[in-house]
Amino acid sequence: MMGVAMGVGFSIAMSSLMEGSQRDFIMRIVDNMPHIVMKDEFRANPLQPVDQVYRQGAVELKGLKPKDEIRGIKAPWNKIETLEAMPGLKVAPTLSSQIFFSFGGKEVAATLLGIDVERERAATSIESDIETEGGLDNLNGAANGIIMGRGLAAKLGAGLHDTLTATSAAGVVMKMKVVGLFHTGVISVDSSQSYALLKKAQILADRPNVINLMRIKMQDPLMAMDTASILEKRWGYKSESWQESNEGLLGAFAIRNAVMYITVSAILIVASFGIFNVVSTVVFEKTRDIAILRSMGFEPADIRGIFLLEGFLVGLLGALLGWALGFGLCQILGMIRFNIKMMTEVQGFLLHSTWIHYTGSGAVAATSATIAAWLPARKASRLKPVDIIRGAA
C-alpha cells in the first residue's frame, strides 16, 4: 500500500510541477506578446508577369533586378480602422527599427518600437510592467522620451532620467531621455526592447509616416491562428499568430508532456504491481480457508472476486494516501524560493494542480492494482478442496 501511495504522491507532484512551468511560460507569452503580428512582408515572392502567363512552362529570366520599394504597410490607418471595427480586436500600430544606444562609452544594439500611447495601452499589457510612476504617459511628457527594459538599461549602465545617444541604421542621431523602465520577466524582451513615441521613432529611422508592424490583441487568444489566416488572405501581408511564432516551443512542450505521462504511468504501474506479491502471499497463507469456502459451496468466480476486491481496495487506499502525500509535496515545493534566469525569470517552483492529476493517478493506481491481483486471484479460484485437504493430510 505504501508503494502505491508513494507512486501516486510523487506522480501528482511531478505532473503539477511540469504543468505549472508550462502554463506560466505560455501565460507570459500570451500576456507580453501580441496575439497576432502583421508585418510589412509577404510569405512568398510575387510571381513575375511571364510566370503568370506561362505557369506550367520552363521560364528563364535574365537581367532581372528587383524593384526598390519603400518598406511599410500600405494605407495602414485604413486597415487599423477596419481591424478596430472587428469585435474583440485591439490594434497597436508600430514602427520597429534597430537602434544603437550609447551611454558612458558603452554601445548596445536594441529594438526601438515607435508606438501610439493610447492604442498601445489598449492592445498590450506593457504598462503594467513599467516600474516608473506615470507609465506610458511619461513619453508624452518628455521631448525625446524613451522607456526601456531593465535588462537593456543594465547593459548600458543607465538609469532613470539619464540621457542616451540613439543612432539608427539610417545614420540619424538623437539624444533621448530615459523616462521609464519596464520588467516583463521575459529575458529576451527586457534585455533588448525599448519604446518611444511613433513620430519620434519615424524621425529617428528616417521613415516618415511608415508603419511596419500591426500588433493585435484578441479577446480570445485561442482564435489567433484562424484570425491571422483570414487577415493574411485579405491583405496579403504576413500575419503570424502567437502559436506560429512559438511553434517550436509548443512542440517541445507536447513532447515533454508525452514523456512525462509515460514516466508517471510507468511509476504507478510498477508501484501497483507490488500488490501481486501481497495477494500471492495471502493466497498461499489462506489455502485452507479457500478450501473451506469451496466446500461450503463458493464458486471459483466468488473466490476470484474476493481477491480481486482485495487488490482493488489496497490500490484505492494507497491512492487516497497518495493524494494526501501529493498535496503535501506540492505545498512544500511551493514554499521553496530561488531565482533562476533562463528564457524567463523563475523565482521558485511553479505548480499547477488540477482534479485531473488526482483522479488520473488514483484511477491508474486502482486499475493497475486490480490487474496485478488478477493472476493470484485466478490461481486461488482454481484450487480444489480435495487437493488441499490431501496435501494437508
Give the model's pLDDT for residue 377: 82
For the stretch 229-278, pLDDT in tens is: 999 999 989 999 988 888 887 888 888 888 888 887 787 777 777 777 77
Give the model's pLDDT for residue 361: 85
Give the model's pLDDT for residue 157: 92
Buried b (16+ CB within 10 A) or exposed e, 34-73: bbbbbbbeeeeeeeeeeeeeeeeeeeeeeeeeeeeeeeeb
Cβ(210)–Cβ(95) below 8 Å: yes
Q: Tell the residue number behind the cell numbers 480586436, with chain if given.
A: 89
Q: Tell the residue number behind the cell numbers 542621431, with chain if given.
A: 173
> What residues does each domain of the chain span?
2-27+249-392, 70-211
HSE, CB side, 13 Å, CA atoms: give it for residue 84.
13
Give the model's pLDDT for residue 153: 93
Residues of the chain with pLDDT under 50: 393
Length of the chain in terms of residues written: 393
| DSSP per residue, 267-319 | HHHHHHTHHHHHHHHHHHHTHHHHHHHHHTT--HHHHHHHHHHHHHHHHHHHH
The secondary structure element, H or E, covering residue 169 is none
Give dist(CA 373, CA 305) in Å, integer. 10
pTM, full prediction: 0.69
The partner residues of 195 in beta bridges, in order of sequence, read: 113, 147
* Torsion angles phi and psi, residue 225, rounded to 5: -65, -45
Give the model's pLDDT for residue 52: 64
Q: How many CB atoms lie within 10 A of CB 287?
A: 15
Give the model's pLDDT for residue 219: 87
* Rg for the chain, CA atoms, rounded: 33
First to last CA, the chain: 35
Could you tell me the CA-to-CA distances from 204 to 107, 128, 144, 190, 200 in Å, in that order?
17, 27, 10, 22, 6
